A and B are shown apart, each in its own frame.
Chain A
Amino acid sequence: MNFFDFSHSVAWLLWIPLLPLIAGTILGFLKPSGKISALIATAALAASLALSLIAFSMTWGHESHTLTHNFTWIQIAGVNLDFGVVLNPLTGSMVAMVSFIGLLIFIYSASYMSHDKGMGRFFCYLSIFMVGMLGLVVSNSLLLLFMFWEIVGLASYLLIGFWFHKPSAAAAAKKAFITTRIGDLGFLIGLLWAFKATGTFLFFDGGNGLLESSQIAALAASKEVLWGLNGAGVIALFLFIGAVGKSGQLPLHVWLPDAMEGPTPVSALIHAATMVAAGVFLVARAFPLFLADAIVLEIVSWVGAFTALFAALIAIAQYDIKRILAYSTVSQLGLMMVGLGAGGLALGEGGVSIGIFHLLTHAFFKALLFLGAGSIIHGCGDEQDIRLMGGVYSKMKVSSLAYLAGTLALCAFPFTSGFFSKDQILLSAWTSNTAIFWISAFASLLTAFYMTRQCCYVFLGKYRGEGHVHESPPLMTVPLVILAVFALVMGIISEKLFHVLRYLSGVEFHQHESIVVIISWIIALGGISMGLLVYARAKMGINETDPVKKAIGTPFSWLEQRLFADELYEATVFKLWNALAINLTAMESILNSLVDAVTTMITGIGNFFSKTIDTKLIDQVSFDGTCSRIYKSSKINSIIQNGFLQGYLRILTAGAVVIGILFFVFAR
C-alpha cells in the first residue's frame, strides 16, 4: 500500500487523521512544555490541512465521483470486517472545513491557554479530538465511523472536564458523556442492524456498499420491518437517534449548554463548529438510507424544527454569553436537520447540499462567535455575564467588529453567509411542509432578536463590570479577522460563483420562490430592528429587570429556567431510578426476612440433632475416639503443613510430576 500515491489510490487520506494522532501520542507520552506542545500539534494539523486541501481540490469538478480505498481489518470464520476511506464532495468539503477551522482555533488557543498550567494536556486532547473528527469524516465504513465517533465523544468528555477541579466542569463532562451515550446506543443498534441486513459495513464498495443503489433497493423492498418503516428506514431511524445525541437535538439537548464549562476554544471547536455537526454529517453520509423512507425524513425535519424553536426561545432569556451561543448552536443544528429532512423530501439527493451548506457556513460564523466571545470574556477579566459587560465596543474594536460580523451571519442578514444557507432551508421547507416552514421561520426571527439583544448588552452603554477592559493579543485577533471575512463573504462566493450546492450532491438547484426570499428578508431585518427597538435604550444592569421580562413577566422566567428540561429529567428519569432503587431495597428486605426464617428453622432442627444425637452418640462415643487416633498421626503430617504458600505449591508440583511419570510409564 503506497501512502503517497495520489493518483491511483486514496489510501493517503488515512494520513489526515494519522498526523494529529502522531502529534497527540508525542504530546501524551513525552509531555513537552506548553509552547512546544502547541507547536507540534499545530504543525501536525497544518500538514493535515494541506492534505485536506488536496483532497478537496480533487473532488472539485468531479461531483459524482466517489473514490474509495478499502481493506480488510479482521477476517473471522468467513466474515470480513472491512475498513476503508472514501473521497467524495461531502468528505472533501468537510475535511477542508474541519482542519481549517481547527487550525485557526489551535492558533487562537496557543494564546488563550498560554497562562494555563495544563497547556500540553490541552493540546494533546485537542489533537485526539482532531483524530476522531477527521477520521469520522474520511471513513468509508460504518464501524470505523462509529469508532471515530466514540473517540470524538471521549475527547469531548476530556475537554469539557478540562478544568476538572471545578465540580461544575466535572459534572458537565459526565452529563455530556452519558447523554450522548444514550444516542450512541441507537447508533450501535442501527449499525448492527445494517450489518445483519446487508452483511457489510462499507458505504461504497463497487456496487455492494451499504449506500449503493442495489443494497438500498433490497433494504427498501422489505416493508413494515418495524413500526411501519421499511428495512432502510429502520436503520436510518436508529442512526438518527445517534445523531440526535451528538447534535443536541430534542430531547437529548441538555448536555450541550452545560458543556460550555470547558475552555472557550473548546466550545468553539467542539461544541459549535465541528463535533456537534458530526450528527448532521452522519445523517448526510447515510442519506440514501434516509431517502428510502419518507417517514424518517418527516421525523428528521419535525425533530429539527422543534429543536430550532425550543432552543431559540430559551436563548432569549439567558444572561451567560456562552450559554446564549450554545442555545443558538442547538437551534441552528435543528435548522440543519430541517434542511436535511425537508430538503430530502423536496429534492431527494439534493437535501444533503442544503443541510451541509448550512453546516459549513455555520461552522465558520459560530466558531467566530465563540472565539470572539472568548476574546471578550478574556478582555473583561473572565466575566461571562452579559449584564456585567457593556460598552465593550469602544475598548475592543477588532474583536467587537468580528463578533458583529458573526452576529450578522447568524441573523441571516442579507448577503452574509448565513443568509444564503438559511434561505435554502426555508425554501425546501416551503415546498415540502408549510408547518415546518413557519416554525423554522419563527425560530430564525427569534435568532435575529436574541443575537441583537446580546450585542446591545455587550457593546452598547457604559461598562458595568469591575475589570479593566483591554484588546486581546494578535494571535487571538488574527483568527477572528480571517473567520469574519469568511462569515461575511463565504456564502455569496461559494453559492453564486462556485455553485457549491451542485458541488455537494451533484443535483442541479433551480428552486426559487420570491415569497420565501421576501420572508427571509423580513425575518432578518425585522428581528434585528425589534431587538434594537427593545434593547438599544434599555437599562441593563445586573439589578435591572430585562425589558422583555417587564413586558411578559412569568413566561420569561420559564425561559430563564430553560423551560425546565433539566428539571423534567430530574422529575422523570431520576425519580424513576430512585423509585426502582427503593423498590429493590424493599424486595431485598423481604428476601432477607425469608432467608432469616429459613435459617432459624434449620438452626432449630440442627440444635435438636446436635444436642441429642451428635453430642452424645457420634461425638463422644465414636468421634472422639477416632479423633485422638487421627490427632496422633496428624502430628507427623503437620511437619509438611508449615503454612508457607510455596511449600504447598512445591508439594503439588511434585505430586503432578509423579502422576505424569506414572502415566508415562503405564500408558505405553
Chain B
Amino acid sequence: MELTLNHFLILSAILFSIGLVGALTRRHIIIMLICLEIMLNAGNLNLIAFWYFSPNPALMHGPLFTLFTIAIAATEAALGLALVLAIFRHYKTIDLEQFHDLKE
C-alpha cells in the first residue's frame, strides 16, 4: 500500500482529536499541557505532509514553518510550566477543578 496525503491527514486528525479530548477532559494540569503539545504536533504533521506532497518540495516552506512552530512550542511549554509552578505555589494543587477564580 502506498502512503498518500490522506493517510497523514487521518493520522493527524486522530492525533488532534486525542489531544483535544485530553485537553477538554483531563483534570491534571500537566497532562492538559501535554495534550496541547499533541495538538500542536498534529498541526506540524499536517504542515510536513502538505509540503511533502506539494508540487514543489524543493522550496523548504513546510520544514521552515514546522521549525518555527517547534521553537514556539518549546517557549510555550516553558511558559506553561512556569505558570503551572506559579499556580501550584499559590493553590498547593494542580487539579484543574480546584481553581475557578477566573469568574471573579
Q: Is B2 an interface residue when CB atoms closer than 8 A count as contact?
A: no
Asked if A643 and B104 sit within 8 Å, CB to CB, the answer is yes
**B100: nearest chain-A partner, CB-CB:** A643
Q: How far is the CA of A650 from the CA of B32 in the complex (A)?
A: 13
Q: Of residues 18 to 34 in B, which have CB atoms within 8 Å of A's CB atoms?
A: 20, 23-25, 27, 32
Q: In the complex, what distance in Å separates the CA atom of A77 from the CA atom of B67?
A: 15
- 18 CB < 8 A contacts A-B: A77-B58, A77-B60, A638-B103, A642-B100, A643-B101, A643-B102, A643-B103, A644-B97, A645-B96, A645-B99, A645-B102, A646-B23, A646-B24, A646-B27, A648-B102, A649-B24, A650-B24, A653-B24
User: For chain B, which range describes its interface: under 10, 10 to 19, 20 to 34, or 35 or more residues?
Assistant: 10 to 19
Shortest distance between the CB of A75 and any CB in chain B (Å): 11
> Counting chain B CB atoms within 10 Å of each CB, which of A641, A644, A650, A653 scores highest?
A644
Tell me the smallest distance from the CB of B12 to a CB of chain A, in Å. Answer: 16
A653–B20 Cα gap in the complex (Å)?
A: 9
Q: Which residues of A contact B60 (CB under 8 A)?
A: 76-77
| B96 adjacent to A644 (CB under 8 Å) | yes
**8 A Cβ contacts from A629-650 to B:** 638, 641-646, 648-650
Nearest-neighbor residue (CB-CB) of B101 within chain A: A643
What's the nearest-Cβ distance from chain A to residue B32, in Å?
A: 8
Contact A646 B100 (CB under 8 A): no
Contacts of A638 in B (CB 8 A): 103
Chain A's closest residue to B97 (CB) is: A644
Nearest to B98 among chain A residues (CB) is A644
Q: How far is the CB of A350 from chain B (nearest CB, A)?
A: 47
Assembly CA distance A650 to B102 (angstroms) = 15
Interface residues of A (CB under 8 A from B): 76-77, 638, 641-646, 648-650, 653
> A76's closest neighbor in chain B, by CB?
B60
Q: In the complex, A7→B15 CA distance in Å? A: 49
Q: Which 7 A-B pairs have the closest CB atoms?
A: A643-B100, A643-B103, A643-B102, A644-B100, A641-B103, A650-B24, A645-B96
Counting chain A CB atoms within 10 Å of each CB, the highest count among B58, B102, B104 belongs to: B102
| Bound Cα distance A650, B104 (Å) | 19
- Assess the A642–B103 pair: CB atoms within 8 A: yes
A166 to chain B minimum Cβ distance, whole angstroms, is 32
The CA-CA distance from A653 to B22 in the complex, in Å, is 13
- Which B residues are in CB contact (< 8 Å) with A646? 23-25, 27, 32, 96
A649→B102 CA distance, assembly (Å): 13
Q: Knowing that A642-B103, A643-B99 touch, tell me 11 more A-B residue pairs with CB under 8 angstroms.
A: A643-B101, A644-B96, A644-B100, A645-B96, A645-B99, A645-B102, A646-B23, A646-B96, A650-B24, A653-B20, A653-B24
User: Given the complex of chains A and B, what is the CA–CA distance between A646 and B32 in angstroms?
Assistant: 10
Residue of B whose beta carbon sits closest to that of A645: B96
- The complex places the Cα of A646 from the Cα of B35 at a distance, in Å, of 13
Interface positions of B (Cβ within 8 A of A): 20, 23-25, 27, 32, 58, 60, 96-97, 99-104
Chain B residues in 8 Å Cβ range of A641: 102-103
Partner pick for B23 among A76, A77, A642, A649, CB 8 A cutoff: A649
Within the complex, the shortest CB–CB distance from B19 to chain A, in Å, comes to 11
User: Could you tell me the distance in whole angstroms from the C-beta of B33 to the nearest C-beta in chain A?
Assistant: 12
Residues from chain B with Cβ under 8 Å of A648 in the complex:
102
- Residues of A contacting B103 with CB < 8 Å? 638, 641-643
Measured CA separation A642–B58 after assembly (Å): 50
Looking at the assembled complex, report how far the CB atom of A331 sits from the nearest CB atom of chain B, in whole angstroms.
47
Complex alpha-carbon distance, A645 and B97, angstroms: 8
* Nearest CB on A from B86, distance (A): 14
Residues of chain B with a CB closer than 8 A to A645's CB: 96, 99, 102
**Chain A contacts for B96, CB-based, 8 A:** 644-646
- Residues of B near A650 (CB, < 8 A) are 24
Task: Give the complex CA separation of A642 and B97 in angstroms.
Answer: 11
Neighbouring B residues of A77 by C-beta, 8 Å: 58, 60
B43 to A: closest C-beta gap in Å:
14
Residue of B nearest to A78 (CB): B58
Closest to A640 in B: B103
Contacts of B97 in A (CB 8 A): 644
The smallest C-beta distance from B91 to any residue of chain A, in angstroms, reads 12
Complex Cα gap A204–B48 (Å): 36
**Which of A641, A648, A649 is packed against the most chain B CB atoms within 10 Å?**
A649
A645 to B102, alpha carbons, bound, how many Å?
8
Chain A hits for B32, CB < 8 A:
646
A79–B99 Cα distance when bound, in Å, is 53
CA distance in complex: A644, B24 (Å): 11
CA–CA, A645 to B91, complex, Å?
15
Q: How far is the CA of A644 from the CA of B96 in the complex (A)?
A: 7
Residues of chain A with a CB closer than 8 A to B101's CB: 643
Q: Give A384 Cβ to nearest chain B Cβ, in Å.
A: 44
B residues within 8 A CB of A653?
20, 24
B23 contact set on A, CB distance < 8 A: 646, 649
CA A653 – CA B23 in complex, angstroms?
A: 11
Residues from chain A with a CB closer than 8 A to the CB of B25 are: 646
CB distance from A537 to the nearest CB of B (A): 68
B104 CB contacts on chain A under 8 angstroms: 643
Within the complex, the shortest CB–CB distance from B37 to chain A, in Å, comes to 15
Bound-state CA distance A638–B104 (Å) is: 10
Collect the chain B residues with CB atoms within 8 Å of residue A644's CB. Answer: 96-97, 100, 102
State in angstroms the CA–CA spacing of A643 and B58 once bound together. Answer: 48
A381-B103 Cα distance, complex, nearest whole Å: 69
State in angstroms the CA–CA spacing of A141 and B24 once bound together: 50
Please indicate the chain A residues that have their CB under 8 angstroms from the CB of B102 in the complex: 641, 643-645, 648
Task: Name A77's closest neighbour in chain B (CB-CB).
Answer: B60
B100 proximity list for chain A (CB < 8 A) = 642-644
Query: In the assembly, what is the distance between CA of A648 and CA of B103, in Å?
Result: 11
Taking CB as reference atom, which chain B residue is nearest A648?
B102
Residues in B whose Cβ lies below 8 Å from that of A642: 100, 103
Smallest beta-carbon distance B73→chain A, Å: 18
| List of A residues within 8 angstroms of B24 by Cβ | 646, 649-650, 653
**Bound-complex Cα distance A648 to B99 (A):** 13
Instruction: For the complex, give the distance between the alpha carbons of A481 and B40 in Å.
Output: 62
